[in-house]
Structure 1
Amino acid sequence: MRIFLCCSAGMSTSMLVNKMQQAAQAKGIDCTINAYSISEFEESLAQNDVCLVAPQVKFKFEHFKQRAEEAGKACGLIDMMSYGMMKGDAILDQALELYRSTR
C-alpha cells in the first residue's frame, strides 16, 4: 500500500510521515508513506493508493476527494487534533481503513 500526505509546504507533515512509518513498522504493515505539496497532487495520486489531506489545506479536500474517487483511490482529511499531536498510529489506522474501503 502506498500512502501520501498532501500539505502546503511539508515541514510538519514530514515529521508525521516518520511517526506513521514507525507505527507501520511496529504493526508489521508493509507500506510506503510520503508527503507532497498540493501542487504535486495529481502526480502523487497516480502513484499512490491513499491520499490524506493535512488540516492546513482542508480547503482543497473536496476537490481532492472527488479526483481520488474518479481514479478509484481513497482520500481522507486528517483530524486536526491527531495531526497536531503527531498521532502517527491513529492516522495510519485512518489510511488503512480508507484503503480497505476501496477494495
Structure 2
Amino acid sequence: MKKIMLICSAGMSSSLLVKKMLEASSKRGLDTEVLAVAEADVHKHVQNTDAVLLAPQVRFLAKNLKRKLEPQGIPVEIIDSIDFGTMDGDKVLNQAINMMQADN
C-alpha cells in the first residue's frame, strides 16, 4: 500500500481532492491510502508516508518540508493550482505516482 499525504491550511479544502484521488485509485485497481492533514499535524502522520503533496495555498512550506522529508526518502511537491482548483483527482494521483517512481 502506498500512502500519500496532502497538506493544506486546515486539512479541509483537500478533503474533496482526497475523495477524488481515492476514486481514481480504485478505478485503476491501486492499493493507495490518501489523507488530508492540516499543516500543524504533518508530524503526526508522516510515518510510512510515500509522498507528500502541498496544496497551492501552503506552497511556502515546501522548502522546509523538502529539507526534512526528502533525506528520509519522502518526496515533496506542490500540487498544480489548476489541478487543485478543479479537484482533478486523476491528475494529482498521477503526480503522486510519478513522485514515488522517481524516488525509487
The alignment's TM-score, normalised by the length of structure 2, stands at: 0.93
Aligned partners of 1:34, 1:81: CA distance in 2, in Å?
A: 20
Deviations 1:48-75 (A, max 9, x none): 1110011010111111122111211111
Distance in 2 of aligned mates of 1:100 and 1:66: 20
Distance between the aligned counterparts of 1:51 and 1:86, measured in 2? 17
- State the identity %: 35
Q: For residue 12 of structure 2, what is the aligned residue in structure 1? A: 11
Unaligned 5+ segments in structure 1 are: none
Instruction: Give the conservation status (yes or no) of the 8 Å contact 2:12–2:36.
Output: no
Provide the alpha-carbon RMSD of the alignment. Answer: 1.0
Identify, as 1 or 2, the structure richer in helix. Answer: 1
Gaps of 5+ in 2: none
Q: Distance in 2 between matches of 1:37 and 1:10?
A: 4
User: Counterparts of 1:22-101 in structure 2 under 5 Å?
Assistant: 22-101=23-102
Show the counterpart of 1:2. Answer: 3
Structure 2 Cα separation of the partners of residues 10 and 72 of structure 1: 23
